[in-house]
Amino acid sequence: MIIGSAIRPIGGEFHCGDAAKWWMDGPNWTLCLADGLGHGRDAADAARAALTHAELCRSLPPAAMLEEIDRKIRDTRGCAMTIIQLDSEARTLCHAGIGNVRAGLFGERSFRFEGTPGIVGGRIRQPQTVEANWMNGDVLVIWTDGLATSLTLAEDCLRLKADPDRLAHRLLVRFETPRDDAGVLCCYLESDGA
């Protein structure tokens, strides 16, 4: 796995309410992207709190992680959040999200993931879980609503797939909207035995 991200605050703001983090535990990876409600310091605090608690409960499945994080960050303004766990041996992923942090799997076939409506920290309902298989060379992209819903990987972006940091920056520039913080996380998928 090769993972990269790009984050930028809304114009005129120092603090960014979008935040990404990922962890490796043996053959398994946990990827998180959080979008604190609004923008500024309070949004950044909510996103950071969500990621702090995600790290502590990452042994749980994504839906259970979101439920635990929801309980732990109720003293913040809350956030939208997507969590994806990858098994690099089985070449599978498990997705759960709350709110409008979207994800897409791009490769020979493409698949999009949507979150369950709600706000993490605002007493969420049970998140839906989606499981999917992936192939070596696929790209997983997770993005906040600071990027267009219609995000796709054009040919010039696909050429960058093995360099997720550059791909994330390219997608941020191409699909960002001026009305919000923006965050995108990209993962070049490759099994350990590839």
**CB-based contact 124:70 (threshold 8 Å):** yes
| Per-residue pLDDT at 155 | 73
Consecutive sets of 10 residues in the chain, 194 residues long: mean pLDDT of each?
91 90 94 94 95 96 97 96 95 95 90 93 93 92 87 76 86 87 92 64
Phi then psi dihedrals of residue 85, to 5 deg:
-105, 135
Distance CA 4, CA 10 (A): 20
What pLDDT, in 10s, does the model give residues 127-165?
A: 999 999 999 989 999 989 888 888 877 777 777 777 899
Q: What are the domain boundaries of the chain?
A: 2-188
The pTM of this model reads 0.93
| Per-residue pLDDT at 192 | 67
| Per-residue pLDDT at 193 | 57
**In the chain, pLDDT over 70 holds for what percent of residues?**
98
| Per-residue pLDDT at 162 | 79
What fold characterizes domain 2-188?
Answer: Phosphatase 2c; domain 1 (3.60.40)
Distance CA 73, CA 57 (A): 13
| Per-residue pLDDT at 59 | 94
